[in-house]
Amino acid sequence: MARRIMHIDLDAFFTSVEQVDNPRLKGKPVVVGDQPDRRGVVAAASYEARVFGIHSAMPLKTASRLYPQAIFIEGNIKKYLDAALKFMAILMDFSPFIEPVGIDEAFLDVTGFESLHGSMRQMAGKIRQRIKDDIGINASVGIAGSKLVAKVDMLDSKAAKFERLNSAIDGIGKKYGFTSIQTGRTLRLKDIFPESDRGYTLHTPSLSR
């Protein structure tokens, strides 16, 4: 039987949790880390903030220079851990063969589970819906015959989502650069999705679809 691996990753995890907790933050450029005048780095940036070139691990001062109007909050690791535990529990309802990668992502071996959950695509839809219903945030799911390709497939769906998210970008450059309408700056894929830079190389033609 062909292996079927899913890679599930929560979208902009910390900031999404904050946006669920405080609906006034929804659709806003939110930066989790600390106040912009403090030393330290960005722990997470909402997609709306990434449009301005803000990304995790960037000094807070740099982030506030890029977009001073962004909403800076300290964040609360306990809240994120609670959400992460719920997330992993949901995945284990779908398959016991789980390999967490970080706090907000995991591989799931779902080989042979079609009989339980329908097609792979339907199963991915159910997983995303459960996460949305129980935690309130969006997830991206990639499906493939290997972990590496499943992760690339997941990043692909994130990139497509980002493209649809708002009119702040005017397309995708040849080298996976997005041009931000707000700033005129070109953002690389890894500026928007730092996870794309964790040892994975993206060769994904669908980015230009």
Name the residues that contact Mg ion, by CB under 5 A. Answer: 9-10, 13, 104
Q: Could you tell me how far CA 92 lies from the centroid of its own chain?
A: 20
CB of 102 to Mg ion, least distance (A): 8
- Could you list the beta-strand ranges (E) of the chain: 5-10, 30-32, 44-45, 71-73, 98-102, 105-109, 139-144, 169-172, 177-180, 186-188
Q: In what order do the strands lie in the sheet with 30-32?
A: 44-45, 30-32, 71-73
Q: Give whichever of 52 and 87 is closer to Mg ion, judged by the CB atom.
A: 87
Q: Give whichever of 46 and 180 is closer to Mg ion, judged by the CB atom.
A: 46
CB of 157 to Mg ion, least distance (A): 12
The whole-angstrom separation of Cα 39 and Cα 82 is 27
- Which residue, among 68, 87, 70, has the nearest Cα to 17 in the 3D structure? 87
CB of 16 to Mg ion, least distance (A): 9
| The one catalytic residue among 18, 74, 99, 105 | 105
Q: Give whichever of 9 and 191 is closer to Mg ion, judged by the CB atom.
A: 9
Q: Has 195 been annotated as catalytic?
A: no
For residue 184, the SS3 value is coil
Are 150 and 144 in contact by the 8 Å Cβ rule? The answer is yes
Q: What are phi and psi of 145, to 5 degrees?
A: -90, -5
For residue 185, the SS3 value is coil
Q: Give whichever of 111 and 151 is closer to Mg ion, judged by the CB atom.
A: 151
Q: Give whichever of 13 and 162 is closer to Mg ion, judged by the CB atom.
A: 13
CB of 12 to Mg ion, least distance (A): 7
CB of 9 to Mg ion, least distance (A): 4
Beta bridge partners of 41: 59
Residues annotated as catalytic (active site), given as ranges:
105
